[in-house]
Each structure stands twice: as structure tokens, then as C-alpha cells.
Homo-oligomer: A and B are copies of this chain.
Amino acid sequence: MKNSILLILVTISLFRCANVPIPRNLDMKDLGILEAKDVTPLVIKALEQCKEQGISKLTFPKGTYHFYPTFAPDFYCAITNNDNGLKRTAFPLIGFDGLEIDGGGSEFIFHGKMLPFIIEESSNLKVTNFSLDWEVPFFLQGEVIDNDPVNKTFDIHVVTPHKLDNGHLYMSLEREDSPYERKYGYKFTQQEKYDQMVGQNIIWDASTKAPLYAHNRYSSFDTHHFPASQINENLVRLETSYKETPPVGSVFVSKGEYLFNRQNPAFRVFKTKNLLLNNVTVHHAGGMGLIAERSENITLDGFNVMLKEGSGRYITSTADATHFCNCKGLVTIKNCTFENMLDDATNIHGTYVRVNKILADDQVAVETYHPHQNDYLFGEVGDSIQVIDQKTLLPTREPLVIKNIKRVNEKISILTFSESVKGSVSVYDGIENITWHAAALIENNIIRNNRARGLLISTPRKVEVRNNYISSQMAAFRITGDLGLWNESGPCDSLIIENNKIENCVYSGIPQSVFQIDPQYESKKYIEGAYSRNIFIRNNEIRTFDASILKAMSVDGLYFQGNDIIQTDTYLPLFPNKPNLEIINCKNVKTDGNTYRLLSGDKGELSVKTDSAIQ
């Protein structure tokens, strides 16, 4: 004790008297975090101090901290595949180089509409040791406690904040209290999307905590608008035009209104290099868990998107757990668990822009179409790009370089090429940025119980996916690309998928394959040439109840080898007559060394359908 005091005194006097660097660590305890009800302003202050003083580590004493939006700074963020807008944040990690944030094993609880971490124009960051959750979730959840198949109604016991208004059910988000809010708030909540009409829905299986098997029975085109009536306080009757009414005991979940239900991802990463997220658990996000854009070398090590034990919730992120668009360098995802998302575990891709108008031999106006790509930063001067034929999805010529690019508005930019593109570009063709494609290492992860797919990989850099456990509602892997709805680029080249355990995917009721490699052509007649190259799917253990294991289209170099396929009876087969392997317009294909163990225990023979007519 005496020595400690002495040491402190010596240290203080050293700092005071000599030209010694100031401490590089800032402890949130010293800013009074233990006494604060709303810690947002303290964290903002601490980050300002870190930047001003060149502090390299910000630490939190272990605790449960509440972050409110009231005093959170906001920034207008255009976030691909999420909703753009002014975002209030508690961690504006903007313009930092060399900072570690150590949560000390704390729980960070967010309130209302917030984007917890905005990480932009930064480098060499580490963010570690905490979990992140919201007090009030961005979804509505209720157990089905009764149903009436004849009248097509079902009754749910809603356990999340909600309202009934004008015969519709709304999920209610947390708003800040004030006398004004109490008196006038009702005028604004629906229009400001704090009350969102029950919209995109999924019914969950309470026994598996996964989406219900053959969920397409519970989908219909007008789910956005089904009438609701109050039975008693938290008991609501919903009418539906589903093919079937959801079974009693299942759990109804809705994430609100399209284009307004991805406003609050947990981590937004943009123009950042060398970022490590380690030992971070996102229990919930109103959008993606992490969305990284135009960034380089992002590592997720023990970055989980996981349910909180005992929370009773069925949903983690309301969109993808993670998503990488227009990144380069190496994306590393290891030792992570991604479960119960309302979308994919990850998606690594670029985004094609489309030619709106040809302005000169070397100049075009390009456009992004999907509203989730408004203000997408496609490229900058010096990036290599190529023109993609809108029909064949193949490059029309050798790559070019961006000589100039000027944003006109959130949809249109004027792009000047390094040379003439006369004769090799048409209106509505795609343009792909080939500088910003990432390599990836995805290993030792668990992916389970999410709606939609496991991994979506669309990058021509080397990607290794190994030692993962995957049990997703749709395909375990989707390798695609399109000049259609989403305009996601690009093809794969050197993708290795090995030693993974894949168990009972493709149970949604929509026809999919465990491995689905399907560039999306506008018409079958345009299928020609190779979209992707060198895809290795080898030595995986694939347990599946259904027939379709692989569908591959337009691959040059497809190696499906040494996989152990084991038939299960977890669910009844949905599409039992599909071929096990379906190979369309591929060349250099090998499908040897696989085993197939039938339910009976007998050795089966994989059925292969090859369609080369359209090669």
C-alpha cells in the first residue's frame, strides 16, 4: 500500500515536472461514468479528449451502462443496404488513428433510435470486451396462443411495446419523455416511424428457436396490411391471407415497415482501415449487426450476433449479422456466433452501378437503383473498373480506370473513364469496381437459426471458409451476382469451402440448394461463358433432410469433392425429386470422392443433372 502511494506520487510528479508523455489510457471511471444515468455525453466527451490528447486506449469499468439519444451527436449517414439518414451515435469514431476501446466486459444498453458505433475515416482501431443491446427492440414479438383456420385469424400475446390504431397493429419504439411528448407525441409517432405498422413477418418455432419449417405457408403478399383487433390488454387477433394459420405455440415476429426498419445498425464502418472487433456481442440491432463499406482489413474475432440468455427474445439483428460491401484487403471472420438474425450471416460483395446515359466516348452517367444504395460511394479516381454486359453479365472489354467521378445526387454520378469506351458500353450496362473487392477468411464460426442464408460471397479475391457450423433457413452458401433488383457484384474466383459442418439448411419452403451458385440472368437465353471460377467445395460434412445439395451455374472450375453427405429426418423433404447436384453451363467440373449416407444407413449415390446445352 505504502509503495503504491509512493509510486503514484512519483508518477504524478514525473508527469507534472518532466517532459514525459501523458498517460495513453483514459478510464471512463474518472469521468464519473458509474454515477451517470445517461452515459452518452460522457463517452462523447471522452472521445473528444482521446482525439485531442492522442490517448490510445479508452477503458470502461465493468458495468451496465445506458445510452440515450438525447445528447448524442448526429451525422447524416448513407449506409448501403441499410436506411440512410441522420444517425445519433454514442461512439463517433471518426478520424481516429490508433485507438482501443475496451468495454471491460460491460453491457451497453441503447435507447430509442441510435447507431451505437459510427466508425469512419479511421485506421488501426480495436473495439473489444462488451455486449450491446437495446432496451426496447426494433421488432414486435408475440406467441400464437390461438388460431382459427376457417376464418384465417390467429391470436398473439404481444410481449414487446405495441399499439393498436385504426385496425392495425404497430410496434412501438422508445421515445424520449417530455411534457411535449405526452401532450403531442401521438401526432408524430406513426409518421416519424416510432410506431411502425406490423410489416415483414416471420413465424418462429418455439422448440428450435428457428423459423418455422416450410415457412412459405405463412407468407402472403399482403402481410403488410393485415387487420388487427384487440382482445385484451396484450392479446391481439390478426387476420391473414396466409395459406395456413400459424400453429399455436409458434412465435410471431415483425420488424416493421420496409425502408424504415434498417435505421439502427449496431456498427457502421466506412472508409476505415485495420479495424479489429474482438469479443463483442451484439444482442440486437435495428438493421445489420455490422455494415462495412469501402474499408480495408476488417477483422471480426469473437464478434457475436447472439440472443441474450433469458431475454425471451427470438431475434438478434433485424437484417444481416454482418455485411461487407466495396471492401478490400482481407475480411476476417473467426470465432463468431451468428444466430437468429432476420437475414444472412454475412454478405461480401461489391455493387454494380448502371449506365443511365452515355455523355461522351469516355463519359457516362451512372446510377444506383435500389433505395438501399442511395448515395452509395461506388468509386474514386484511380479505381479500376470494368463494364459488364447487362445480359450475359460478362465484361464487354478490358478493365479501365476512373479518371474522374462527380456525384450529382444520391442516385447519379458522372464517371469519366481513362479511355474511350465507344462501342463497348450500352445504357443499362453495369460497371464493376474491381479495385474494391476483398479477400476473406471465415473460420470457426457458428451460424444458426436465422431467416435466409448463411454466407453470401461475391468477390474474385481469395476466400477461405473452413471449420464453420452452418444451419440457416435457406442456402448455406449463395454465390450470385445480378444486374437486377440488388445489382450485387462480382463473381467469385478462388473460393475454398472446406471442413465445414452444415446441418439441415434449406427448410424455408422456397426451393434452394445447400450450395447455390446462381448468377441471375435476365433470361435463360443469355446464359453463356463463366461468371465465377475456381470454386472448391471439399471435405465438408453436410447433413440434410432434402435432396438438393448443389446448384451451380456458369462456373469454370467447380470442384465438389470429398464431402460427406448424411441424410437426416429432421424435417420431411420439401423437394425430394430435385437432383442432388445440378450443374448448368459449367466447365472443368469434378464431383468425385463424396460419400452419401442415406437415412437407412445405406450408401447412396448422388444424382447429378448436368445441363450443358446452353453452354
Q: Which residues of A contact B (CB under 8 A)?
A: 69-74, 76, 86, 88, 166-167, 178-180, 183-184, 187-188, 191-192, 222, 224-225, 257-260, 354, 356, 365, 367, 369-371, 408-412, 428, 484-485
Contacts and interface: CB of A to CB of B under 8 A. Distances in A.
Given A408-B71, A409-B86, A257 B191 contact: yes
Given A258-B191, A259-B188, A409-B72, A369 B225 contact: no
A273 B539 CA distance: 73
A43 B180 CA distance: 44
Given A180-B354, A188-B371, A412 B365 contact: no
A356 B88 CA distance: 17
A354 B184 CA distance: 15
A515 B225 CA distance: 45
A94 to B, nearest CB: 15
Closest 8 A/B residue pairs (Cβ): A191-B259, A74-B409, A166-B225, A180-B369, A191-B258, A184-B485, A188-B371, A86-B410
Contacts of A70: 356, 411-412
A260 B224 CA distance: 20
A86 B222 CA distance: 30
Nearest to A225: B166
- Stoichiometry, copies per complex: 2
B369 A178 contact: yes
B410 A365 contact: no
**Residue among A74, A222, A258, A428 facing the most chain B CB atoms (10 A cut-off):** A74
Nearest to A86: B410
B192 A259 contact: yes
Contact of A222 (B88, B166, B191, B356): B166
**Residue among A180, A259, A485 facing the most chain B CB atoms (10 A cut-off):** A180
B74 A365 contact: no
B88 A369 contact: no
A365 B71 contact: yes
A261 to B, nearest CB: 10
Contacts of A484: 183-184
Contacts of A74: 409-410
Contact of A179 (B69, B180, B259, B428): B428
Contacts of A191: 257-260, 371
A106 B522 CA distance: 44
Given A166-B225, A188-B371, A428-B179, A76 B76 contact: yes
**Residue among A69, A183, A370, A408 facing the most chain B CB atoms (10 A cut-off):** A408
Contacts of A365: 71
A590 to B, nearest CB: 37
A187 B371 CA distance: 10
**Residue among A70, A73, A184 facing the most chain B CB atoms (10 A cut-off):** A70
A485 B181 CA distance: 10
A360 to B, nearest CB: 14
A408 B40 CA distance: 12
A191 B258 CA distance: 7
Nearest to A41: B408
A231 B180 CA distance: 43
Contacts of A192: 259, 371
Contacts of A188: 259, 371
Contacts of A225: 166-167
Nearest to A192: B371
A421 to B, nearest CB: 20
A166 to B, nearest CB: 4
A303 to B, nearest CB: 28
Given A178-B367, A179-B428, 10 more contacts: A69-B409, A70-B356, A72-B409, A166-B224, A166-B225, A178-B356, A178-B428, A184-B370, A187-B258, A188-B371
A553 B178 CA distance: 28
A303 B197 CA distance: 42
Contacts of A187: 258
A523 to B, nearest CB: 13
